[in-house]
Amino acid sequence: MLKGRCFCGAVRYETTASPSEETACHCSICRRTTGAPFVAWFTVPLSSLTISGNTTTFQSSPAASRSFCPKCGTQITFQSSHHPDLIDLTTCSLEDPEQVPPINHTFDESRLAWVKLADELPVCPKSRPS
């Protein structure tokens, strides 16, 4: 079981599913919604996720929404209407982010020039590989 929470602890979650699609996303929307140079995510089936506490949802693009803690602002989820049965969770909102390291970098074509990758992970110019 994976457990996570926002910074202030008002929002908590757990999932019984094994993570998939572990990635470090460099897209401009992830950067702008977090204020970070890139964001690590992983995917689980929506049906496996239990969230306690209230979240605020923001429609970040026509096909995607993100949820945040309304108290501290921690981004918790990303959902795409293209995959309504799946949900992405921010890796660093996990109680132990080391449990789910990224396996690639996505949207590398949007990576900031001053971000130098020091790992050996595969790099995808656009979205995650199928």
Least Cα distance to 121 among 110, 106, 109, 107 occurs for: 106
**DSSP characters over 46-86:** GGGEEEES--EEEEEETTEEEEE-TTT--EEEEEETTSTTE
Domain boundaries, the chain: 2-110
pLDDT in tens, 111-120: 999 999 999 9
The per-residue pLDDT for range 67-102, each reduced to its tens digit, is 999 999 999 999 999 999 999 999 999 999 999 999
Q: Is the pLDDT score of 129 beyond 70?
A: no
Q: Does domain 2-110 bear CATH number 2.170.150.70?
A: yes
Q: What is the pTM of this model?
A: 0.92
Residue-wise pLDDT tens digits, 18-53: 999 999 999 999 999 999 999 999 999 999 999 999
Rounded to the nearest 5 degrees, what angle is found at the Cα of 93, between the Cα atoms of 114 and 37?
10
